[in-house]
Structure formats: structure tokens, C-alpha cells
A = this chain, B = another copy of it.
Amino acid sequence: MKTNFECFPCFVEQALRASRMVTNDERTIKEILDRVGERFREIPLTYTPPEMGDYIYRTVREVTGVKDPYQVMKKESILQVLSIYPFLEKMVANSDDPILTAIKLATIGNVLDFGISRKYDLMEEIAKIENMEFAIFHYDTFREQLENSSSVLFIGDNAGETVFDKLLIETIRKPVTYVVREGPVINDATVEDAIQSGIDQVAEIISSGSSAPGTILRFCNKEFLHRFSQADLVISKGQGNYEGLSGTERQVFFLLRAKCPVIARHIGVKLNDFIMKAS
């Protein structure tokens, strides 16, 4: 998905929000905004938004010297979801269609995204699961392909959401490789976050090789690219991965909530819709 004009004010907002996570120093914040503004010209509309996201969060790290502004919040998110894990497990086990329930929960978990300005109440979202509907629901295709798959590549998104992903992985009972970011960016999951979430108990964890807040293939390492092309089934969580992968040739199953109007328009759904889409 290409960068849209609407992304530019959002880039500045994201830079401001991330800066304020780290510092109150006016000159530091201004320096970050100035650098982001200067970068506009170098960002053609053919870039995907995570490419600019990569630059924004790298700039925040460089200017402030803080490597992982969201570290504490990530750990809190993970602990929050781990604390309700037994409850979530029962929801899945007792449901008519455990895989569908686990997918729903994993998609609800996608609201744990600190890159967006809107706040969602996770517990409220879970409470509404009975009435939850996907605006795009390629579930039959998913089940069919899952049945015939002996390897699944699961591209994670946010820390905390990772715990929901663990439950989905346990439920689908297939050999899974779980992909995380190479280093901290916003609250996206890293190897450390995935391990804290217990993913190592149910899947092999690998890094994409990139710290961009989304999967941009030309930034990824060889191992990831190999597994991406070889996996029988690829599951991609969240907006950033969708932005990077929506134009790729191989089939990908996207699970996400459309939390930004530009993405909602690109997919052809309404803001806040839940998506389960085979590319």
C-alpha cells in the first residue's frame, strides 16, 4: 500500500506522540519534528507508510538517545493479556468453532497499537465478541488452506497482541514460525516481547531483519524472505504489515482492525472494521 497524502500530517503526529513518550524538552521535540518535515521531499508516494514510520521512530531514538520508549508499556500490555489468558483459553475451548474464536480474539488484540491516536478498551472489545463481525471474511478459504498446510509463517504486530497470537497458534495446531521486528519500534513485538508472551512455547521465533513498523520485503533478511516464499500459509497481523505486504504476489491472510481512514479506504471497508482477508 502506497503512502497517501493524508499520511503526512499523521507522520508528524506520530513523531510528536513518540517524542513526548521520551522527553519534555522542547528543543529535542522540535528537532525531531524538523527532521521529519525535512524528510517529506525524500518520501515519494510510492513508498509504503512503514518506510516513513521506520524513519520517524529511528529519528526519535537518535535524537533522544532512548532506544525503546514504549518498553514499559509493552511489558504492561503483555502482562495484562497474560493475566486473562486462562479466561481466553476457556472462551476458545468452549466455543463451537475454536479456530474462529481464536481468530476473533487475535484480531481484537490488534487494538493494542500505540502508533495510532485512538484508544480502544480491550476488555470491552472482548466482551462484545458474540456480536463481532468481519467486514471481509475469507474464513472458508483460510480453513481450507490451513488444512493443507504443513508450515505456517505468522507475522506478528504489537506486544500484548502477541499473547492472543499464542492462543491462535495453540489452536491451529500446525508448525508455526513467528516473525517479530529486529529492534524496538513503537510497541511492535521484538524477540524479547514474543518470549515474554510465551510464543517460544508454541512456535519458532525469528526476526524479519528490519525494525520498520511493518513488513517491507526489501528491508527484510534472507531467512525471513526464504520462509516467506516457502511457507504454505502466511498470516499477517495488523496495519503496518498490511501496508508493506498488500502488494506482494504471494497469498497472505491479513488479520487486522482498520484503525486508520486511509487503510479502511484502501481495503474498501469502514473505519474500525475487522478484516480477515486473503490477498
Contacts and interface: CB of A to CB of B under 8 A. Distances in A.
Interface of A: 5-6, 8-10, 12-13, 16, 26, 29-30, 33-34, 36-41, 45
Contacts of A39: 37
Contacts of A5: 16, 29-30, 33
Nearest to A14: B9
A36 B38 CA distance: 9
Describe A's contact surface by its main secondary structure: helix
Contacts of A34: 40-41
A16 B9 contact: yes
A115 to B, nearest CB: 14
A26 B45 CA distance: 9
Given A8-B33, A26-B45, A30-B45, 7 more contacts: A5-B29, A5-B30, A6-B16, A8-B37, A9-B9, A38-B38, A38-B40
A187 to B, nearest CB: 20
Nearest to A42: B34
